[in-house]
Amino acid sequence: MDQVHAQLNKLCSQIPSQGELLDLANSLKQQAEVNYHQYVVPQLEHLRNTSVEDVISEFKELKVSSVTVSITLITLSTFFVFGKLLLGSGDDKKDKKSKKKGKPKKKLSKAQKANREIQGILDFVESEYVPAIDTYLDTYKTLKPEEVEAKYNYFEEMLLKELMKLDAVDVSGNEILRENRKKVIKFIQDHHKRLDNFKKEANF
């Protein structure tokens, strides 16, 4: 612990005081002013007094002067910036094309396709019809008799359609898929039975 305190005290003693920092800042400011008047101002004066003909002449003779160096740097910088912009836009187009193309999709196997169809039917019935049937059975007393019968017929027909879709799914030779399809068929039939039981109770 004593060593840590000693090191901290040593570091603190090396930090300049506020007065020293102010002196350093003033010194740097004075040096910057001297450099400006010594190096920058003469170059500016030279540029101001140089005619276009002189500049062209210096370029033709390949003279290295503040004017030729400045113009060369400006020209190169301009080309560099525009080049970056042009190349960048080209890269963006390539990126967009490559994103559109993406990786080639793997072709689904027969079993994968069948499984996706079965799952799609189950998801659709669960999201579209089950909540609507629940609401219908809970609120049928608020409906007119003809509306009650019309809704019953609609749900019965839609569930039968989904059962027919399941029958059309090819699961031949795959016991797992056949079992999955049976479960989904039973799920839909259970809701069909709910409707049938309701019809008997409602007596329409």
pLDDT tens per residue, range 33-66: 766 667 666 665 665 666 666 656 665 666 566 5
- Specify whether 74 is located in the same domain as 145: no
Mean model confidence pLDDT for the chain? 78
How many domains would you assign to the chain? 2
pLDDT-based confidence at 29, cuts 50/70/90? confident
pLDDT more than 70, % of the chain: 57
Distance CA(47)–CA(31), nearest Å, equals 24
Distance CA(128)–CA(123), nearest Å, equals 8
Query: Which one of 99, 124, 150 terminates a domain?
Result: 99
Q: Any residues with CB less than 8 A from the CB of 195 and at least 6 apart, and which?
A: 133, 152, 155, 156, 159
Q: Any residues with CB less than 8 A from the CB of 109 and at least 6 apart, and which?
A: none
pLDDT of residue 23: 76
- Specify whether 42 is located in the same domain as 117: no
**Enclosing domain of residue 157:** 110-202
pLDDT of residue 121: 96
- Specify whether 79 is located in the same domain as 130: no
pLDDT above 80 for 198: yes
- Specify whether 89 is located in the same domain as 54: yes
Q: Which amino acid is at 97?
A: K
- Specify whether 46 is located in the same domain as 66: yes
pLDDT of residue 48: 66
Sequence length of the chain is 204
- The full DSSP string for 111-154 is HHHHHHHHHHHHHHIIIIIHHHHHHHHHHGGGS-HHHHHHHHHH
- Specify whether 126 is located in the same domain as 195: yes
pLDDT-based confidence at 94, cuts 50/70/90? low
Query: Which one of 52, 77, 99 terminates a domain?
Result: 99
Instruction: Summarize the confidence of residues 19-46 as an average pLDDT.
Output: 70
Distances (CA, A) of 109 to 1, 103, 106: 70, 18, 9
Encode 26-47 in three state secondary structure: HHHHHHHHHHHHHHHHHHHHHH
- Specify whether 120 is located in the same domain as 193: yes
CATH number at residue 193: 1.20.58.120
Query: Which one of 75, 99, 123 terminates a domain?
Result: 99
Q: Any residues with CB less than 8 A from the CB of 171 and at least 6 apart, and which?
A: 114, 118, 177, 178, 180, 181
Tokens for 162, please give them: 């989904």
pLDDT of residue 75: 66
- Specify whether 115 is located in the same domain as 95: no
- Specify whether 87 is located in the same domain as 114: no
Q: Any residues with CB less than 8 A from the CB of 4 and at least 6 apart, and which?
A: none
pLDDT of residue 26: 76
Window from 12-16, 48-52, 95-99 with minimum mean pLDDT:
95-99
pLDDT tens per residue, range 118-172: 999 999 999 999 999 999 999 999 999 999 999 999 999 999 999 999 999 999 8
- Specify whether 82 is located in the same domain as 116: no
- Specify whether 93 is located in the same domain as 65: yes
Instruction: Summarize the confidence of residues 171-186 as an average pLDDT.
Output: 93
Distance CA(115)–CA(179), nearest Å, equals 11
- Specify whether 89 is located in the same domain as 131: no
pLDDT of residue 81: 61
pLDDT-based confidence at 71, cuts 50/70/90? low
